[in-house]
Each structure stands twice: as structure tokens, then as C-alpha cells.
């Protein structure tokens, strides 16, 4: 698999990235190790994790995913040099006091979190270190509107950049990025970095899939013009775009075994909306009408988009990994892409 440059940097990554947030919850450690081994065999050398993982987040599994990856690396001498390893510092608490106390995300928090991640990952450096969600109070994870009355920001962006700069200077981090960001946030991080000689972000990791295309309205232009790469997460819409929930929905004894049926808290989030499932069913049928599986359509939509630098796939089984990687060969016709746009025009972005 050919690599691509991430943003304006010289960091080269594979256009498919293995997401690991299920490791330590839905995926046991030995299975996770086997999945990572197979990803390497198939040519995927870009892995993404976070201090908060595994998901759904719990105090008992905080840091579990990084620990699993660290033990995998330790057991495979030389493997660390073969992969690009990305992780994230969690933003303000959002009801997870086990991540950190208080509401903010200070410069000291960023540095302490990085050092803890390095220890769990058993590595000296993180190739791409990202802010998991903004320190500012912005719409994210399904909330739709910015409300200045709810603003709780305590750490200016410049101060966050300066903390990240210290990590880069110390050799703990190679490149920096954002996640769940807005056009304003991307612009401001780039502007301040250029103005003050601080590290420039190379990427933002945001949701991007057929039922959540908010990125297509302004943030795509922002990132294109500023040369910031998109790491597209949830390309399968938390499983809705695989078709496994089409017949049964998320409830009842016959519901497919996936995180939307296994974890009650997931059903109350954006992916659990009736409108999201209704739209997913439309896209899934469109795929079948064109001789594709729903998974093939959903992944090819991301894999072949000019907007996407790398698509993050998350799996719980080896079979899912193989299916997701095999979809790399799928090409979508202009007619099929136009049909996707027509569904979006009618049903909009129900999982934004």
C-alpha cells in the first residue's frame, strides 16, 4: 500500500489506518495482537489510539488500549520502527473524572498525559499526538450548536501549542494534530503556530461517513487551503453502514451483536438516532442495488474522497479487518456518488 504525506508535513502514512478503540473492551489482548499482526501483513502501518481508550470509556479500562499496543510492540523487536503511531490527549473531562480532575485541559495536563501514554505504549516517541476534542466548548459528538454562554475555556490555544512544542523539542512527539475540530479551531491553531514559530498541526481527526458529512460544509475547504489532512473516523457509522442493523435495529433479542446493541449508552448518542438508522438503510440498499455490500460502498466513499488523507477502520474480528481492507479495491462511479449526494440532500446528516 502506497503512503501519502499527512498535511503539509513529511510524515508519510498509509491511506488506511487501524483504529484500536475496541481493544481492551470488545477485543481481548491476544486477539488485538493478532489483528495488528495481520494489518501489518496487509500493508497497513498507521495505527491510532488514545489515552481515553478503550470505548465505551470506563475507569476500569482507561489506558487499556495503549497498554495492549505497548505489550505488542515490546514482544516484536523492530516493529516500532515500521509503524506510524498516533495517540491523543483527552480534552476537558466530559464526565470522566478518571481521565483528569476539573473541567479544563492545561498545558501541564497535556504534558503529563503524553508522558503517561509513552509509558503505556512502551515507546520513546509518539509520531502524531492529537488533542482528542477541543479545550473550548464547541459542538462535538452529536451536539449541533455553539453556545457562547457555555464556554468554559481556561487554556488559550497558544498555551496549548506551547505545551505541544515542548514535547516536540524534547523528542517525545514528532508531529501534532487535532480531533473533533471546527473550521475556527483549525484556522486558529495554524495562525498562531505560524505567527509564533510553534509546531504546525498536520491533521484533524473528525467523523466522516455517508450519514455524517458535516466536514463537507466549510471544514473541507479550511483543511484543503491550509494543507491539513483529514483522518476520517467512523467511516462505517458505528456499524450502521454495514447493514447489520437493517433488519433488527438496535433492540431486542435478534439485534446484531455490535456496540450499538451491546452498550446502552451508545443508543442515546448520535449514531443511535432513528433518523441515522433510516438514512443508513437507504445507503445500504443503494449499495446492494449497485452490486456492492454496504461496507464496500461506505468505505470506498471515504477511501476515494479527495478530502481524506487516511481512513480509520475499527474492527472486532479478523474477518472484519479482511473485509475492510479488501474494500480498498472498490471504485465508485459518478452515477453512484451522485445517488449518495441525492440521499444526503433529502436526509441530510442525521449523525452529525
- As a three-state string, the secondary structure of the chain is CCCEECCCCCCEECCEEEECCCECCCECHHHHHHHHHHHHHCCCCEEECCCCCCCCCCHHHCCHHHHHHHHHHHCCCCHHHHCEEEEEECCCCCCCCCCCCCCCCCHHHHHHHHHHHHHHHCCCCEEEEEECCCCCCCCCCCCCCCCHHHCCCCCCHHHHHHHHHHHHHCCCEEEEEEECCCHHHHHHHHHHHHHHCCCCEEEEEEECECCECHHHCCHHHHHHHHCCEEEEECCCHHHHHHCCCCCCCCCCCCCCCCHHHHCHHHHCCHHHCHHHHHHHHHHHHHHHHCCCCHHHHHHHHHHCCCCEEEEEEECCCHHHHHHHHHHHHCCCCHHHHHHHHHHHHHHCCCCC
Instruction: Give pLDDT tens digits for 296-311.
Output: 999 999 999 999 999 9
Q: Which domains does the chain have, with CATH numbers?
A: 4-243+298-331 (3.20.20.100)
- Please, what is the average pLDDT of the chain? 95
Provide the whole-model pTM: 0.96
Instruction: Give pLDDT tens digits for 33-45.
Output: 999 999 999 999 9
**Cβ neighbours, 10 Å, residue 258:** 19
Instruction: Give pLDDT tens digits for 313-342.
Output: 999 999 999 999 999 999 999 999 999 999
Instruction: Please give the pLDDT value at position 309.
Output: 98
Average of per-residue pLDDT across 151-170: 96
Instruction: Give pLDDT tens digits for 113-153.
Output: 999 999 999 999 999 999 999 999 998 888 889 999 989 89
What torsion, rounded to 10 degrees, do the Cα atoms 321, 284, 229, 19 define? -30
Q: Is the pLDDT of residue 106 over 90?
A: yes
Average of per-residue pLDDT across 7-17: 97
Which residues, at least 6 apart from 165, have a Cβ–Cβ distance to it below 8 Å? 198, 199
Set of cell numbers at residue 269: 448518542
Q: Is the pLDDT of residue 26 over 90?
A: yes
Selected catalytic residue, list 53, 208, 215, 303: 53
Residue 283 designated active-site? no
What torsion, rounded to 10 degrees, do the Cα atoms 265, 280, 299, 24 define? 20
pLDDT category at 254 given cuts 50, 70, 90 is low
* pLDDT higher at 143 or 252: 143
Q: Is the pLDDT of residue 69 over 70?
A: yes
Distance (Å) of CA 71 to CA 36, 45, 173, 296, 323 = 12, 17, 20, 32, 26
Instruction: Give pLDDT tens digits for 194-246.
Output: 999 999 999 999 999 999 999 999 999 999 999 999 999 999 999 999 999 99
Return the exposure string of 106-119: e unless at least 16 CB atoms fall within 10 Å of the residue's CB, then b.
bbebbbebbeebbe
Amino acid at each position: 500500500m502506497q503512503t501519502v504525506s499527512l498535511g503539509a508535513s513529511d510524515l508519510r502514512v498509509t491511506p488506511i489506518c487501524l483504529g484500536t478503540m475496541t481493544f481492551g473492551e470488545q477485543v481481548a489482548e491476544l486477539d488485538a495482537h493478532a489483528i495488528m499482526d495481520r494489518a501489518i501483513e496487509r500493508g497497513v502501518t498507521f495505527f491510532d489510539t488514545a489515552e481515553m481508550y478503550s470505548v465505551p470509556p470506563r475507569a476500569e479500562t482507561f489506558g487499556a488500549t495503549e497498554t495492549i499496543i505497548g505489550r505488542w510492540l515490546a514482544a516484536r523487536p523492530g516493529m516500532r520502527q515500521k509503524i506510524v503511531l498516533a495517540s491523543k490527549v483527552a480534552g476537558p473531562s466530559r464526565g470522566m473524572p478518571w481521565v483528569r480532575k476539573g473541567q479544563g485541559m492545561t498545558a501541564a495536563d497535556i504534558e503529563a498525559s503524553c508522558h503517561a501514554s509513552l509509558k503505556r505504549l512502551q515507546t520513546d516517541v509518539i509520531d502524531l499526538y492529537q488533542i482528542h476534542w477541543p479545550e473550548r466548548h464547541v459542538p462535538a459528538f452529536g451536539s449541533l450548536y455553539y453556545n457562547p454562554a457555555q464556554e468554559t475555556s481556561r487554556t488559550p490555544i497558544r498555551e496549548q501549542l506551547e505545551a505541544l512544542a515542548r514535547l516536540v523539542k524534547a523528542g517525545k512527539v514528532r508531529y501534532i494534530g487535532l480531533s473533533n475540530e471546527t473550521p475556527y479551531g483549525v484556522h486558529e491553531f495554524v495562525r498562531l503556530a505560524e505567527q509564533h514559530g510553534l509546531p504546525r498541526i498536520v491533521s484533524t481527526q473528525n467523523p466522516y461517513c455517508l450519514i455524517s458529512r458535516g466536514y463537507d460544509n466549510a471544514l473541507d475547504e479550511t483543511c484543503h487551503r491550509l494543507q491539513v489532512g483529514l483522518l476520517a473516523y467512523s467511516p462505517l457509522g458505528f456499524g450502521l453502514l454495514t447493514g447489520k442493523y437493517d433488519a433488527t435495529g438496535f433492540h431486542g433479542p435478534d439485534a446484531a451483536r455490535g456496540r450499538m446493541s451491546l452498550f446502552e449508552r451508545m443508543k442515546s448518542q448520535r449514531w443511535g438516532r432513528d433518523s441515522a438508522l433510516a438514512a443508513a438503510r437507504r445507503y445500504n440498499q443503494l449499495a446492494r442495488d449497485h452490486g456492492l455490500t454496504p461496507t464496500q460502498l461506505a468505505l470506498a466513499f471515504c477511501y476515494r474522497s479527495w478530502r481524506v488523507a487516511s481512513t480509520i477502520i475499527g474492527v472486532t474480528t479478523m474477518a472484519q479487518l479482511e473485509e475492510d481492507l479488501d474494500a480498498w479495491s472498490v471504485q465508485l462511479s459518478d452515477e453512484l456518488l451522485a445517488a449518495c449526494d441525492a440521499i444526503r440532500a433529502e436526509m441530510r446528516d442525521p449523525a452529525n
